[in-house]
Chains A and B, each alone.
Chain A
Amino acid sequence: MADRSIYVEMKDITKRFGSVIATDHMNFEVAKGEIHALLGENGAGKSTLMNMLSGIYIPDSGHIFIDGKEVRITSPRDALKAGVGMIHQHFKLVDVLTTLENILLGYKTGLFVRKKEQKIKLQQLMEKFQLDVDLDKYVYEMSVGEKQTLEILKTIYRGARILILDEPTAVLTPQETNKLFKIMRRMKEQSCSVIFISHKMNEVMEIADRITVLRKGKTIATLEKESTNPQELTELMVGRPVDLSIKRIPALSDNIVFQVRNLSAVNEEKVEVLKNISFDMYEGEILGVAGIAGSGQKELCEALAGLYPIKQGEIIFKGENLAGKSPKEFITRGISMSFIPEDRLGMGLVANMDIVDNILLKQYHHSKGIMVQRKPAAAKAKEIVKKLEIQTPGIKEPIKNLSGGNIQKVLLGRELDSHPELLITAYPVRGLDINTCLKIYDILNEEKKRGVAILYIAEDLDSLMGLCDRIMVISNGEITGIVDARKATKEQLGLMMLGNKEVHHAV
């Protein structure tokens, strides 16, 4: 590939947010017709750098060249003019509009929208890039995969030749990921460039031509895929050698502590979101839950913590049926639930309150009188900060000022502090860097040793297969199977996530 001509060049790019340097004199270049991966941990500056190429942020200093000419990109409009389009992690789509309307947004069409003409144009484009979306479907009716395809179509339609994809696979099933990779290769054939932001090593190795590694706001290296390997990339990414393997401790006993029987629930629109869920949990085991985003994980977590109204079924904890009891009673029985949503907000913490008050949130019920007692909570806060190595200026710091990983540690620390016997934890490592992930796996394993039953909901199949004893797969609110984590394969789990019950091998 010696004839590669440089398409995009970013030189000496610096951007600060308040006192944080997000990108520190970064350099980056992409050739025509290549898939270029940007690899780095959270906070390495991947998204920030790309946001500056796509006009969302404006660099404090530095230069951007496209096709050899210097450009100033100060808005998404400038970016598109230069041929750059970005597909963000959070899709920029308007829910109450259709595919077509979303594509036509901001497009100069004269006074009235001529939908028919535009449709023909779009059909041609869809054929050329082998994209498949329904132009008249409303966005709120779409699956994540469909939304992503729509975003790609929209961006190409507006003239993008350089496509930036920000962690596109985070929310996809393995099958959807394969489809996306096909589209990316197709774009490459059409001599477009694709920039692929990721922190998943195996995907990067599969799809990228070249890889640029970022760490803590700096460009570390750009490598040809052929001449590198995952171990080297990880070391560059983290900055030192790491052992990536997750330790698994064998399950302790076959004492059943938690039984769920025929659990069903409906949401506000009367749609059944949990269908006849039944499973058992043993003392000291980690039961993983896999599924496509929005398959009922959230409802399941909440139902098991007494927060979601159930239609029927039993939730039996140590022989006592808790169905229909108030959330407070679930808490006092020793059931703890923590859920990290995609945006990390509203996850059982109060962003504007400090660490002490957030710890207090699960404690003040227990103290006597009508006043709250902050002193014991403050002592606990200090303890948790020390034990989990939370980086914070102090325990009086509003948690919104902490980094995502530290916020998640506060949450986990608080939940573990209540010494639960059943710990329900959803996406505890969402968006965390490798070291923090490993730390959190260690913490979970420690709890497991103590005999705690852990329901571990995650989207990353690697971590599920590495950490759990068994994996329960749900699809569309229904259990499609429970498999032994040691024997499961990704393909098998992927098919089950899509609702295929045949492939499961019950344990």
Chain B
Amino acid sequence: MQFRIVIKSEIGKKKRVLIFLGSIIAALIVSGLFLAFLNLNPFQVYIAMLQGSVGSVYRIEQTIIYAIPLIITSLGVAIAFKMKFWNIGAEGQILMGAFMASYFALNYSFLPRFILLLIMFFAGFIGGAVWGIIPAFFRAKWGTNETIITLMMNYVALKWVVYLQYGPWKDPNAFGFPKLANFAKNAVLPELFGVHIGWIIAVLLTIFVYFFLNRSKKGFEIAVLGESAITARDAGINIFRTIIFAMVLSGGICGIVGFIEASGVEQTLTKDITGGVGYTAIIIAWLGALKPQWMVLASFLFAILIQGSSYIQSAFGISAYSAQLLEAIVLFFVLGSDFFTRYKLIIDWPSLLRRTKENGK
């Protein structure tokens, strides 16, 4: 054994942040090599990405529009994650929320705008919540593995929306094109400061989730349950009810994203409405250590990454998938860097030298 690993004593916050930043820089260097391999100047690309995402008021607005669903979805999944319930089903919960909100948008557009939007908001919440309750019930009742179930439900939701889009909800006025009718003006979220008011919902939900997780009894119970089911039971916490409650909230909040995206961005329901937000949000929740304030920050970083990538796509002709690759590379490095906050690597010189000597013989 030439290398060995020992446990580090607790390290400070400052060092932790440094290791995190170091890993991001390492990821950018590796991605840079990749870009250089494609005959592109990585510095130009990175600068262009920044310009593309925060270079003008309009671009900042676009970045914020990307950040909104990321923030809210990561808040939603964080509640489940706090309970160590691996809700990978945000995609499906968003789709079902969007579906429910769209139902009212398409059929009740005669209602006054405020009332209709309020109904759509709650419909979105319920759509997501129902999609959250199903895996929660199985897990609470029989201990069924929720990771795969939530994931499978993403596909079920997706196929459901595809079915609507190609079937019963197809817009007869779209010349056979498989799309839904656009929402009426009444069903579209108004704008404030150039961005649809989903951002206000995001701010309010961030505050709500912060207090919920840190100060409320239910949030406390969820955290205890996540750490140890036995302890939770000993303390008199009703495990079944807590799991269901947490997933109603988790799925419901993701469902709200469906409402916001359908009403504020697409102004209709499409199968692509999530744009992979449900998966990215999992990463964000993890990066932000389930702390709402950090998750908001991480959401903006990813929004910049996504908006920047779509900009360089046109500027440099790089595939849209480069954003996903970049995302994954950053993630790999951050995941790996965690090691250095917990362990110390020691090179065992005596045995290394001995080994080389033996090989030399």
Question: A390–B28 Cα gap in the complex (Å)?
Answer: 47
Distance in Å: Cβ of A216 to nearest Cβ of chain B: 19
- B144: interface (CB < 8 Å): no
Whether A350 contacts B234 by the Cβ 8 Å rule is no
Question: A331–B4 Cα gap in the complex (Å)?
Answer: 48
Question: A399–B4 Cα gap in the complex (Å)?
Answer: 28
Contact with B along A329-367 (1 / 0, CB 8 A): 001000001000000011111111100010011101100
**In the assembled complex, which residues on chain B have CB atoms less than 8 Å from the CB atom of A58?**
1, 4, 348
Q: Which residue of A lies closest to B234 (CB)?
A: A348
Question: A313–B196 Cα gap in the complex (Å)?
Answer: 63
Q: Which residue of A lies closest to B215 (CB)?
A: A371
Whether A350 contacts B236 by the Cβ 8 Å rule is no
Whether B227 contacts A372 by the Cβ 8 Å rule is no
Q: Considering only CB atoms and an 8 Å cut-off, how many residues of chain A contact the other chain?
A: 34
Distance in Å: Cβ of A321 to nearest Cβ of chain B: 19
**In the assembled complex, which residues on chain B have CB atoms less than 8 Å from the CB atom of A222?**
none
- A19: interface (CB < 8 Å): yes
Instruction: Assess A370 versus B227: contact at CB under 8 Å? Given A18-B7, A307-B234, A348-B235.
Output: no
Instruction: Assess A372 versus B215: contact at CB under 8 Å? Given A72-B351, A350-B231, A352-B227.
Output: yes
**In the assembled complex, which residues on chain A have CB atoms less than 8 Å from the CB atom of B215?**
371-372
**In the assembled complex, which residues on chain B have CB atoms less than 8 Å from the CB atom of A361?**
224, 231, 235
- B220: interface (CB < 8 Å): yes
- A75: interface (CB < 8 Å): yes
Whether A346 contacts B228 by the Cβ 8 Å rule is yes
Q: Which of A331, A337, A353, A360 contacts B227 (CB 8 A)?
A: A353
Q: Which residue of B lies closest to A339 (CB)?
A: B234
Instruction: Assess A307 versus B227: contact at CB under 8 Å? Given A19-B9, A74-B1, A372-B215.
Output: no
Whether B233 contacts A307 by the Cβ 8 Å rule is yes
- B358: interface (CB < 8 Å): no
Question: A365–B10 Cα gap in the complex (Å)?
Answer: 33
- A137: interface (CB < 8 Å): no
- A326: interface (CB < 8 Å): yes
Q: Which residue of A lies closest to B235 (CB)?
A: A361
Distance in Å: Cβ of A381 to nearest Cβ of chain B: 15
Distance in Å: Cβ of A353 to nearest Cβ of chain B: 7
- B29: interface (CB < 8 Å): no
Distance in Å: Cβ of A80 to nearest Cβ of chain B: 15
Q: Which of A74, A362, A370 contacts B235 (CB 8 A)?
A: A362
**In the assembled complex, which residues on chain B have CB atoms less than 8 Å from the CB atom of A17?**
6-7
- B319: interface (CB < 8 Å): no
**In the assembled complex, which residues on chain A have CB atoms less than 8 Å from the CB atom of B220?**
357, 360, 364, 372
Contact with B along A358-386 (1 / 0, CB 8 A): 00111011000011100000000000000
User: Residues of A with Cβ closer than 8 Å to B?
Assistant: 16-19, 58, 72, 74-75, 305, 307, 326-328, 331, 337, 345-353, 357, 360-362, 364-365, 370-372, 401
27 A–B pairs (Cβ distance < 8 Å), ordered by A: A17-B6, A18-B8, A18-B10, A58-B1, A58-B4, A72-B351, A74-B1, A74-B4, A74-B351, A307-B234, A327-B233, A328-B236, A346-B231, A348-B231, A349-B231, A350-B224, A353-B223, A353-B227, A357-B220, A361-B235, A370-B216, A370-B217, A371-B211, A371-B215, A372-B217, A372-B220, A401-B10
User: Residues of B with Cβ closer than 8 Å to A?
Assistant: 1, 4, 6-10, 211, 215-218, 220, 223-224, 227-228, 230-231, 233-236, 348, 350-351
